Amino acid sequence: MSQFIESIKVEDQEIFLSDLHQKRVNQTFSHFGKEDSIDLVKIYKNLHHDEDGLFKLRVSYDLDKRVRTQMIPYAIPEIHDFQLVENNSFDYSFKFEDRKELDKMKMKSKAEEIIIIKNNHITDTSFSNLLFLKGKEWFTPSTYLLNGVQRQHLLKQKKIKEAEITLQNIKQFTHFQIINALNDFDDMFIYPIDRIMNLPGNEEYLDL
């Protein structure tokens, strides 16, 4: 039985973007032919979490509605280098708990984090969506692997736009940042584009 996960931001006892997380869970159950789903807000309330600070609520579940939860203190990571890694067959359209393929790609890389290239297009890192800066505007790749809740939220708020970002045009962008349920749009965590160690034209480009 496939296991799925949701990683949900809880800060000062408040749960964030629960409607978008719930929508994704409901879509997962529906896609696999199940009418009922699980209630994430109810699961959170039943934990009686009473600590302030930033936490990741990790909800692991299967289609029989068996649920495991962990409440994990969270700190936003600063990543020192990134590497483009090509994988044209990788599919992560549902948030599976099994990350073996992602871990395998990371182990082969020479950097702390990977950016996955699929059919010449920029997609995601191993744990987040991406934003790229051109001028004063932020863009997110239209070729994502997983349509993350933070990505959906920022698009809805019109803080970011979608764009086709490829190996050919990535150098038109000056900076980038990572976003997911725990990592908001944040001017404090912006990386220069050359933090990607093997940009096209660099000697180490896709040299695995």
pLDDT digits (tens, 9 = 90+) for 43-78: 999 999 999 999 999 999 999 999 999 999 999 888
Class at the top of the CATH hierarchy for domain 82-195? alpha beta
Burial 75-99 (b: 16+ CB within 10 A, else e): eeeeeeebbbbebeeeebeebbeee
**Average of per-residue pLDDT values in the chain:** 93
The tokens describing 64, both together, are 């029989």
pLDDT at residue 2, as a whole number: 67
Average pLDDT over residues 189-202: 90
Q: What are phi and psi of 14, to 5 degrees?
A: -110, 135
Q: Which residue has the tokens 């997962």?
A: 28
pLDDT at residue 207, as a whole number: 45
Is the pLDDT at 115 greater than 50? The verdict is yes
Domain range summary for the chain, segments of one domain joined by +: 3-73, 82-195
- For the domain spanning 3-73, the CATH number is 3.30.470.10
What is 17-86 written as a DSSP string? SHHHHHHHHHHHHHHTT-S----HHHHHHHTT----SEEEEEEEEETT--EEEEEEE--------EEEEE
